[in-house]
Amino acid sequence: MKIRPMNGRVLVRPLEAAEKTKGGIVIPDTAKEKPREGEVIAVAEDAMEDVAIGDRVIYTQDGGTELHVGEQKIVFLETDDLLVKYVETDEIPE
């Protein structure tokens, strides 16, 4: 099955939160924060100027709708729910 977003929407595969802290403490599932970072896996045609497939983004905590396609969890977001897109640069602009 193929899913194609429409009306400026984006599909994002959430990146999993860390299982342990840097100090080695294991975080139980009930205490983990909901992931807010992910990889764009599909983009509506009218949202192509904002993001592209493969971009890594940060989105609002309560934004979007979670879907399960087979074993995979994805988040269906509007482009307004996207906060940051990672961009590779040699230095931080002033």
Task: For 24-78, write each residue's pLDDT tens digit.
Answer: 776 665 655 566 889 999 898 887 777 889 999 999 888 788 888 888 888 989 8
Burial class (CB in 10 A: 0-12, 13-18, 19+), 59: buried
| Residue 35 to residues 4, 16, 17, 62, 93, Cα–Cα distance (Å) | 22, 6, 6, 10, 27
Whether 40 and 12 have beta carbons less than 8 Å apart is answered as yes
Asked whether the whole model's pTM tops 0.75, one would answer no
pLDDT value of position 54: 92
